[in-house]
Chains A and B, each alone.
Chain A
Amino acid sequence: MFKFPFNWLKAVSDIEVSYDDLLKWLNEQGFEIASLEKNGEDTIIEIEVKANRPDMLSIAGVLREVYISNKLPAPKVFDENICLSFDKDNKLSHEIKINSSDVHRYCGVEITDIDNTVKTPDYIMDVLTKLGVPSINPVVDISNYVLLLIGQPSHVFDTDKLVGNINISNIEEPIEFLTLNGSKTEFPKGALIISDDEKPICAAGMIGSPNAEITANTKNIIIESANFDHIIIRTTSKKTHVSTMASYRYERGVDTEMSYVGARILTKMITDICGGKVNTKAYCYKDAEYTPNVLKLTTERTNSVLGTNLFPDEIADILRRCYFDVKVLDGTTMEVTVPSFRLDIEFDVDLIEEVGRIYGYHNIEPQPIKLYAPYKENTVNKNANMLRNIMTGSGFFEILTYGFIHSDAMKILDINEKSPYYGDIKILNPLSNYFELMRPTMAYNIIQTAVNNLALGKTDIKIFELGKTFKRNPGHEDSYEDYTEKNMFGALITGVKYKKGFGVSKEIKYSVYDAVAAVRSIFGEYNIPIEIKNNDTFEMFERGVGAEITVGGKHIGIVGKISKKVLSAFENGKLAKDDVLYFEFCYEELEESKKSISYESNFPSVVREYNFIVKNGIHFTDYSKLITAESPLIVNVKPIDVYFGTGVEKGSSAVLINVEYNAITRTLSTDEIEIVEKGFKEKLLKKFGIELKK
């Protein structure tokens, strides 16, 4: 972001600046107007400056865009023609010693006998006040003003406070010192710190220290106008949480050649305003000579990236308009010299973007894609969509929750470390403990959502969610590989299944059988044979009302009734008066197996009902298999109802079963059926102790 008063821009421009045209241009060029704020006769414009365009973090940069928009040659360069000779061998009163590769330029100018008690001129005060930059004293104010004007940060030392040399180096041990923002900051090992022979005086490119602070009484100064490496400033700023106007610019990149300009402008302004005597033999360090970036660009590449039909001349004109130096080498190849302020231009594609930007993205005609790329089906996506169809068709609502859950979720769900649904992957910087644990099961959020809806007055709830669960991957305990993710499906049912009225004389609530039926129906749709067997190891279910879902003996999910203990651990969980039924399974590997529709017999079936007394723990899947195996005449065996209570011995239940008999070649006779019946009844009694209810 960069804020500037519009009147300041007008004042520094040699041409007329239209407010509306400026706003339109900036918006179109990707420097969107973030805010406009009236300030008396002036308007403070705030533009969004992306990380690649630090050159736009100054009024000089904005002015350049004004000139580009008006197709004019580059505006005047802000500089001062004063007599300063820069040399690394020039010695100041305090010798500058650079011992770091993070310093690219370092200009030091010494001025003595200034008067810093004078008033900061109105034109500077006007800009600083409008931008909310506090006025300190003329020297500091000028330094801030120059930063906003040309984007070059600077620092000024009170030489009377310095002892010995000015040393710039990366510190070997962390140090803590008071900075000019009034707080003590610890700078980590490696930070670029400027010290004299006794004490730290500045965190380079970031913030100064009161140890060499400029005050109204300051008489003798050394101006620093330097260029520090963006990486060291960025990393130090991130680690210390110190961000200043200077660090914000250095971490994005500052034009190395502006160090000299900054030094000249500061020197001129300070001496104009505060007087003083300049040592014209200024110090200057540079780690390497500046060599402009020269890039080759072809018309073909430009048009092939943009989808345009631009001619070489058009491309060259656009680049020249943005102050690139362009030499057309042959018909289609250009040699482009990048100006020093355009730190973002590294490769030919950067130039192509520049061409696209000025040509106008809106002028590029959309073209349909002409590419053949083979289609690859995604099983997870296919399954998710299939499950959504099944569930919404069955009256379930889809919900979406966060992937992280409460840090106490395992305790709340009564899940212990040995459970396959246990999780302990935690976020180091959670928003709060409500969002700390990566969910190992879908249950927590689904139950919470159900309870929230109960609290909102809903009574009958059928919901499901598709999402990831996160677990550890044993054997990889020290890295990224320690985590595994699974695509899971979870669903919850509670409340009334059939409401009283409209022909229903008594309301019927959902029971665990409905959850089991839902699971069977889902896997039936996939035509995947599953087994659901009682299993009391899943702690969140009530004892005796929890089961495991397996496919070919492999655990795939769970189904059961959430225990009262678990429910009451949720806030508002006590609102759940009816059974809360839950099922969850991993869906990522489900594969639909093909079904066929058979209609072999044209003769009617016979369906007979049997009311068996079955001891608890004996599975329908097992004894129904035995019935089916009795005769090929049995084509279907299904449970109709289950009853326990009066008339049925404790530990057993009465199960009403329908058996369908059919023969392909004839209508069955009663005698034939009775023979079959007799056979499976005997076997049921012998193997499972199952008898008809008397």
Chain B
Amino acid sequence: MKNHISEIKEDFSGKLETVTATEGLQIIESSFKKTVKELFGEMKNMAPDEKKEAGQLINDLKNDFEARFKAIKEKFLNSPSVTSEMDLSIASPEFVRGKIHPLIKVGKMMEDVYKEMGFSIAYGPEIENDKHNYEMLNMPYYHPARDMQDTFYLEYPNVLLRSHTSCVQVRYMLENKPPFMIISPGVVYRVDEIDPQHTPCFYQIEGLVVGEGINLANLKWAMTESAQRIFGESLKVRFSPCYYPYTEPSAAVDMSCIMCGGKGCRTCKGTGWMRVAGAGMVHPNVFEGVGYSRDTVGFAFGWGLNRLPMLYFKIAEMRKLFENELSLWEQL
């Protein structure tokens, strides 16, 4: 019996040395209890002397291990990381989610803000004609402002790739009567060679609100509000006089620099401001061209939707937006 008990003791001591978790300890403990029960069972057939000796040995063994189990349990409780069978120090398998393109992501933020304000969304063709892209926007064929919007031409005369989404507004006005509030997000084209800050395609979100009582102060509100909802309330929005053939009065819209908070840095060329949009009250010639009265009032604006995601995600180069390097988008 004595030998048998020391064998048992050795066996369970060995098991306890390798145990690392509570679950493992519970298994050992229940197996130990079963063994002790068996040992007591074996005593039935023993002589009284033997019985007494064996009883003592078994009790010692039982007490010894119960103390050990208790100690180990406490140890596990105090160092929970060892009790887990999940090792967080090693990498987990990838859990891949997709990503929305950064430009679209910011575009959707803008869309959502304007939808909340009550704007509807309008789309139009990318292949346009001169009439919708220039002429009806108060830019006849000889207008020098066309130089700023040089675009690509297709095989038929006066057919081109739209240089702004303002032509969507023209089409919308031809088909609808005020009041309305629309935004027209989309791709536009300009003859720009590709370099870090230029691409031949880029995105705009233009807005048009036409209806009684609409004024420049409303325009300031709509643009300031939308920019602040996306970039934070501390953002400042500045309006200064500008010129667009299709708006009068016209305004250039600057945002306080996201990078430096308006103190002046390399991105904002030390001015603290960044040009992000153009806007103004729609020119009476444009209203007249679509069959509205010259007294109609409304405002229009156009955000450069390449600049905003670049600022939002601090992407230094515009062309990166169209290179689609997936490892970059993974950071989103």
A→B interface (CB under 8 Å): 27-30, 32, 50-53, 230-231, 234-235, 251-252, 304-308, 347, 349-350, 352-353, 356-357, 361-362, 364-378, 380-381, 385, 388, 391-404, 425-431, 435, 438, 449, 452-453, 456, 458, 461-463, 467-468, 470, 478-480, 482-483, 485, 499, 501-502
A431→B191 contact, CB < 8 A: yes
Within 8 A of A (CB), among B225-244: 225, 238-243
B239→A362 contact, CB < 8 A: yes
Tell me the nearest residue of chain B to A401, going by C-beta.
Answer: B322
- A475 to chain B minimum Cβ distance, whole angstroms, is 15
Given known contacts A378-B122, A485-B125, A431 and B200 CB-to-CB distance under 8 angstroms: yes
- B199 to chain A minimum Cβ distance, whole angstroms, is 8
B218→A27 contact, CB < 8 A: no
**Contact partners of B156 in chain A: CB under 8 A:** 478-480, 482
A375→B118 contact, CB < 8 A: yes
**Contact partners of A429 in chain B: CB under 8 A:** 152-153, 191
The answer to whether B110 has its CB under 8 Å from any CB of chain A is no
Tell me the nearest residue of chain B to A485, going by C-beta.
Answer: B125
The answer to whether B123 has its CB under 8 Å from any CB of chain A is yes
New A-B contacts (9) at CB < 8 Å, excluding given A51-B245, A463-B326? A304-B215, A349-B281, A371-B181, A388-B100, A400-B322, A431-B200, A479-B156, A480-B156, A483-B159
Question: What are 30 A-B contacts defined by CB distance under 8 Å?
Answer: A28-B240, A50-B242, A50-B243, A51-B143, A252-B144, A305-B215, A305-B216, A306-B249, A307-B220, A308-B217, A349-B248, A349-B283, A349-B284, A352-B249, A353-B248, A367-B218, A378-B122, A388-B100, A388-B104, A397-B98, A397-B330, A398-B101, A398-B329, A428-B154, A449-B324, A452-B324, A463-B326, A470-B126, A470-B127, A480-B159
Give which listed residue, A349, A425, A456, contacts B154 with CB less than 8 A.
A425
Q: Give chain B's interface residue range (CB within 8 Å of chain A).
A: 35 or more
Given known contacts A399-B101, A453-B324, A367 and B243 CB-to-CB distance under 8 angstroms: no
Total cross-chain contacts (CB, 8 A): 252
**Contact partners of A230 in chain B: CB under 8 A:** 142
Given known contacts A369-B117, A372-B179, A388-B100, A403 and B240 CB-to-CB distance under 8 angstroms: no
- A664 to chain B minimum Cβ distance, whole angstroms, is 39
Tell me the nearest residue of chain A to B218, going by C-beta.
Answer: A369
B214→A381 contact, CB < 8 A: no
The complex places the Cα of A604 from the Cα of B250 at a distance, in Å, of: 70
The answer to whether B327 has its CB under 8 Å from any CB of chain A is yes
The complex places the Cα of A304 from the Cα of B179 at a distance, in Å, of: 16
Given known contacts A367-B221, A392-B97, A453-B325, A231 and B142 CB-to-CB distance under 8 angstroms: yes
- A344 to chain B minimum Cβ distance, whole angstroms, is 8
Per CB-CB distance, the 5 closest pairs between chain A and chain B, nearest first, are A307-B217, A50-B243, A392-B98, A353-B249, A307-B215
Q: What secondary structure prevails in chain B residues at the interface with A?
A: mixed
**Contact partners of B324 in chain A: CB under 8 A:** 399-401, 449, 452-453, 463
- B242 to chain A minimum Cβ distance, whole angstroms, is 5
**Contact partners of A305 in chain B: CB under 8 A:** 215-216, 249, 281, 297
The answer to whether B57 has its CB under 8 Å from any CB of chain A is no
Tell me the nearest residue of chain A to B248, going by C-beta.
Answer: A349
Within 8 A of A (CB), among B274-332: 281, 283-284, 297, 321-327, 329-330
- A50 to chain B minimum Cβ distance, whole angstroms, is 3
**Contact partners of B325 in chain A: CB under 8 A:** 452-453, 456
Binds A, one of B18-26, B76-84, B205-213: B205-213
B240→A27 contact, CB < 8 A: yes
The complex places the Cα of A395 from the Cα of B94 at a distance, in Å, of: 11
A347→B224 contact, CB < 8 A: no
B127→A438 contact, CB < 8 A: yes
**Contact partners of A53 in chain B: CB under 8 A:** 243
